[in-house]
Every structure is written in C-alpha cells, then in structure tokens.
Amino acid sequence: MEDTIGFDQHNLNNHGSNTQGSSKQGSNIQESLESLFAKAVRHHRYGELSKAEMKYKAILAREPNHIAAMNHYGVLSYQLDDFPLAEQMFEQAYSMVSFDEKLSVNLVSCKLKLDKPVEALSIVQVILANNPDSEIGNKLISKVQVPELDCVD
C-alpha cells in the first residue's frame, strides 16, 4: 500500500449516514449505527481486519447509504488487495457526495491498481477543478500515465 500515490487510510473524512431519524426509535437506530461504526474503525486501526469487515458489512446491510462505512470498507478492501470491491465501495461513496478530496484520492489509487489510468485521470482532473492548489492532485497528475494512442487513417 505504501507504493500507492496518495492513499490515506488514517485521514479519511468521517461522513455520516445520509438518513436522519425523525422519531426516537429512528434516533436510537442511528446512534447504534454510529456506535457500530466507531467499533469498526477501532478494530480497523488495531489491525483486527476481519472484525472490522464484519462491522462495516453490518452497517451497510442496515444503512446502504452510510458513506463513511463505504469509504472505510473500501480502505479495508484495498488493504486486503481486493481492488474490485474497494473500487465498488469508493465509487458508491463518490457518487453520493458533491466532492471529497480524500475519497477521490482513494478512488484514484484503486483505479491505478486496477490499471484504469484514463478513469484515474478523469478523477484527478475533478480534484484539480475543485482545488487547483491541491498538493496531492498536482502530485497525482504527474504520476497518472495514460497510454498514447496512434492516429487511425
């Protein structure tokens, strides 16, 4: 993972769920999701990856739009070299936010691991469009190599 440009497992933004509990019962469910998420992150940080994975899956089963769980489960999948699952998680979360630089960088890292440089480049361009001074975006733009195509007659 250290060879991956910009991948940052420790500085992920903690996005909450997209749902809001309007009743006391809804509020209790939300609190238990957040408690479960805190436990998942704790397991993840301590290297208890199977426990963290079970908790991320449990959160997503109950709340499929929990952006932070998607992002963190993507990080965990990336760490386990399950790049297709990591890509799926990052893309799902990415599609649900207006812009998040760290999530975008995670998705770029995954696209590069899956040998999808054109897709990675388009995301880097979004990073730079949102933040032209982005240090990581400018670093990534020089690292993403898109294959040259020959002209066709």
Q: What per-residue confidence (pLDDT) applies to 109?
A: 95
- pLDDT tens-digit profile, the chain (153 residues): 333 434 444 434 444 444 333 344 555 666 589 899 999 999 999 999 999 999 999 999 999 999 999 999 999 999 999 999 999 999 999 999 999 999 999 999 999 999 999 999 999 999 999 999 999 999 998 888 777 666 666
| Cβ–Cβ under 8 Å, residues 75 and 8 | no
Residue ranges of the chain that CATH labels 1.25.40.10: 24-97
Q: Which long-range contacts (CB under 8 A, 24 or more apart) does 140-143 make?
A: 140/5, 140/6, 140/105, 140/108, 143/5
pLDDT at 32: 87
- pLDDT given at position 142: 84
According to DSSP, residue 15 is labeled -
What is the pLDDT at residue 71? Answer: 97
Q: Domain 24-97, CATH 1.25.40.10 — does that match?
A: yes
How far separated are the first and last CA of the chain, in Å rounded?
Answer: 42
Q: 53 with 73: CB under 8 angstroms?
A: yes
10 Å CB burial of residue 9 (0-12, 13-18, 19+) is middle
Bridge partner list, 17: 66
* Cβ neighbourhood burial of 85 (10 Å; 0-12, 13-18, 19+): middle
Nearest of 96, 98, 93, 147 to residue 120 by alpha carbon: 147
What confidence score (pLDDT) does residue 3 get? 38
